[in-house]
Amino acid sequence: MTYKTAEELVRSGYSKFEASDYEGSIEDYTKAIQIDPTFGDAYLNRANSKINLKDYDSAINDLHLALEIDPNLYQAYFYRGLAKLCSSDFQKAIDDFNKVLEFDPDYSEAYINRGIARHNTGYISDAIEDYNKALEINSNSAITFQNRGESKYVLGDYKGAVDDYTSAIEIDPKNPELYMERAHSLSALKRNRQAINDFNKIIEIDPDYKTSRENYAFARMLLGDNKGAIEELTEAINNEGQSAYRFLTRGQAKSKLDDMEGAISDANKAIEIDPEDPKIIDMIFIRGVFKLKSGDKEGAHEDWEKASESGHLLAIQCIKRYPKKAGKLSFFTSGRVITFCLFIGIAIVPGLLFKNETTVSDQSIETPSPKTFFDSAIRKEKSGDYYGAISDLNKALSISSNNAPNNATIYYKLGIIKTNLKDYKGAISDYSKAIEINPRDADTYIMRAKSRGLFGNQEGACSDIKEAMNLGDKEASNIFTKACK
C-alpha cells in the first residue's frame, strides 16, 4: 500500500507498533518525518518504538526534537523520563516526570514511574507517596500495588508489603512475580507455611519461573524440612542446571543437618561457578561460617580475612567476635552470629530487591522532615556510611514529635546499626526506647536480646526472648529452648 501523507504513515506506524512490529513502525514514522519534519507526533511515536527496542539514547534525541517543535507536547516529557529511567538516569527522569505533572496532575503513570525513580535513588518514603497518589487516580493497577509493596519491604514494613502484594494478586492472579515477592514478605514475618503456599502457586502457574524451586526449597528449610530442601535443590541442580545460589542454599540446609563437610563442599562449588561474581565475597564469608560450625576456626578466619580485605563488614565483625585463640562462645555469640550470617545467603538471590544501583544526586530540601532524614539514613547505611546514618536518624528524632509511632522504627534502626558497630550498650538503649513506644514488636525484643547476649547479659537476653515468645514469635521459642533452659 502506498501512503501519500505523513498522517497516513503515522497511523500505519501505530498499527505496526500495536502488533509489536517496532522496526516496521520506526520505518513508517521516519518516512512521515521525511514528508513533514515538523510533525511532532511522529518523533514522539518513533521514540516510543525505540524505547521498546531499548535504543534509549536515540529515543531521547527524538524527544528533544519533538519538544523543540512543540514545548507543550507533555507526553514527550513522559517518554523522555521513561527512557532516562530505563537508562538509570534517575534524577533526570524525576525532573521530566515533574514536568509532566505540571501539565497534567492526574497522570497516574507519571506518579508510578517517578516513584520507581525515587525508590532507586533511596527516597523510599517519597516513592510510596507517589504510589499512593497513583492509586488515588487508578485503584485497579497491579503494578502500582507491587511497586508500593517493594518500597514497604525495603522500609521493613513487611505486613504492609504483604497487603499490597495481595491487592496486586487480586488484580493480576496469574503473575508469578507477585506471589514470589509476597512469599518473601511472608517469610520475613515468619509466616512460612503461607510462603510455601505462594511458592507452590508459582510452580502451578509457571514451573519454569526463575528461582521458584530454589525459593520453594528455602521455604521448606525455614519450616525445618532440611532434607526435603536438599532433595528439591539436588533435583534442580541435576535437571535444570547449576547455579551458585542453588549450591549455597543446599549448603545451608546441609549445615542445619550438621553435614558440615557437605555444606563446605557446596560452598566451594558455589564459589567455583563464577569467581568473578560480585557476590563472591558473600559466598566466601558464608563458607567461613560453615567452617566455624565444623570446628575449623583457622579455616573460618582464612575466609573471613579474605572477605574483610574487600571491606566485608560482617567478616570484620566475626574476626573480632571470634578470635582464633578464643574458647567456646555462648549461644548468643556463636549461634546468633551463625544464624545471622546464614541469613546473608538469602540476599544472594539476584534481583530480589534492588533492581538498580545508582549514586544519589544532591537534592535541595527546603523543609526537612523526619522521613527525609530517615530516607537519607537508609541510603547512607546501604553505602556503608554507618556514622552518617546514625547522625541522620538522630536528626529525624530531633524534629519528630515525642513518642510518635514512627520513632519506634527510627530507634530500631539505630539499634541495628549500633549492633553492627559493636556498640552494644548504645544498641540496647535504642531498642529499649523503641519498646517503650511499641511494646508489641517481637523483633525488637529479639534484637535487644542479641545485643544483651553479646554484651554479656545472658539473663537479660533470655528475658527478652521470653517476651518475644509471649508475643507469638516462633523463632524466639526455638532460641529459648536452645539458650535459656
pLDDT band with cut points at 50, 70 and 90 for residue 333 = very low
CA 236 – CA 335 distance, rounded (Å): 30
Q: Does residue 247 contact residue 273 with C-beta atoms inside 8 Å? A: yes
Q: What is the pTM of this model?
A: 0.57
pLDDT band with cut points at 50, 70 and 90 for residue 71 = very high
Q: Helix (H, G, I), strand (E, B), or coil: what is residue 270?
A: helix
Mean pLDDT for 460-485 is: 82
Using alpha carbons, list the distances in angstroms from residue 429 to 236, 336, 389, 411, 447. 46, 20, 17, 9, 12
Query: pLDDT tens for residues 184-208?
Result: 888 878 788 898 888 888 878 887 6
Q: Does residue 135 contact residue 144 with C-beta atoms inside 8 Å? A: yes
Predicted pLDDT of residue 359: 24
Predicted pLDDT of residue 405: 61
Query: pLDDT tens for residues 152-171?
Result: 887 778 889 999 999 999 99
Mean pLDDT for 110-132 is: 88
Position with higher pLDDT, 279 vs 447: 447
Which CATH superfamily includes the segment(s) 370-483? Tetratricopeptide repeat domain (1.25.40.10)
At the second CATH level, the architecture of 1-103 is Alpha Horseshoe (1.25)
Residue identified by cell 538509570 is 88
Q: Residue 385 pLDDT > 60, yes or no? A: yes
| Three-state secondary structure readout of 285-343 | HHHHHHHHHHCCHHHHHHHHHHHHCCCCHHHHHHHHHCCCCCCCCCHHHHHHHHHHHHH
Predicted pLDDT of residue 324: 62
What count of other Cβ atoms lies within 10 Å of the Cβ of residue 466?
A: 16
Q: Does residue 245 contact residue 214 with C-beta atoms inside 8 Å? A: yes
CA angle 94, 97, 98 (to 5 degrees): 85
pLDDT band with cut points at 50, 70 and 90 for residue 481 = confident
pLDDT band with cut points at 50, 70 and 90 for residue 129 = very high
DSSP calls for 172-234: -TT-HHHHHHHHHHHHHTT-HHHHHHHHHHHHHH-TT-TTHHHHHHHHHHHTT-HHHHHHHHH
Predicted pLDDT of residue 346: 31
Mean pLDDT for 107-124 is: 88
Predicted pLDDT of residue 211: 58
Q: Residue 28 pLDDT > 70, yes or no? A: yes
Predicted pLDDT of residue 184: 82
Q: Residue 138 pLDDT > 60, yes or no? A: yes
Q: Residue 43 pLDDT > 50, yes or no? A: yes
Using alpha carbons, list the distances in angstroms from residue 384 to 304, 334, 377, 378. 18, 24, 10, 10
Mean pLDDT for 436-445 is: 88
Average pLDDT, the chain: 81
First CA to last CA across the chain, in angstroms? 85
Query: pLDDT tens for residues 282-297?
Result: 789 889 889 988 888 8
DSSP calls for 97-118: HHHHHHH-TT-HHHHHHHHHHH
Which CATH superfamily includes the segment(s) 106-210? Tetratricopeptide repeat domain (1.25.40.10)
pLDDT band with cut points at 50, 70 and 90 for residue 338 = very low
CA angle 342, 292, 271 (to 5 degrees): 60
Residue identified by cell 502451578 is 204
Cα 425 from chain centre: 29
Domain 241-348, what fold? 1.25.40
Tell me the three cell numbers of residue 77.
Answer: 516529557
| Domain spans in the chain, listed from the N-terminal domain onward | 1-103, 106-210, 241-348, 370-483
Predicted pLDDT of residue 131: 96
Inter-axis angle of helices 192-205 and 176-188, nearest 10: 170
CA 68 – CA 296 distance, rounded (Å): 68
Check for a shared fold between 106-210 and 241-348: yes
